[in-house]
Amino acid sequence: MNKGSQIVGICITIVVAALGGFIVGKIVAMLGRKKLAYDDVDEFEL
């Protein structure tokens, strides 16, 4: 392998990771948030 192929591979990896992160970020943003930052009452029943 030459250096050019490795650089292209790294660039493609970075672009795919950034694009995937952007898409997942938009999906998570559409789902909304809890009103409280963390409340374990949803995870445990007493």
Q: What is the 3-state secondary structure (H, E, C) of 8-37?
A: HHHHHHHHHHHHHHHHHHHHHHHHCCCCCC
Report the domain count for the chain. 1
Q: Over its length of 46 residues, how does the chain's per-residue pLDDT go in tens digits? A: 799 999 999 999 999 999 999 999 999 999 887 776 777 777 787 6
Q: Between the CA of residue 10 and those of 18, 24, 28, what are the distances in Å?
A: 12, 21, 27
pLDDT score of 32: 83
Domain region containing 37: 3-42
**Which helix (H) or strand (E) is 3 found in, with range?**
helix 3-31
pLDDT score of 1: 73
Enter the DSSP assignment of 44.
-
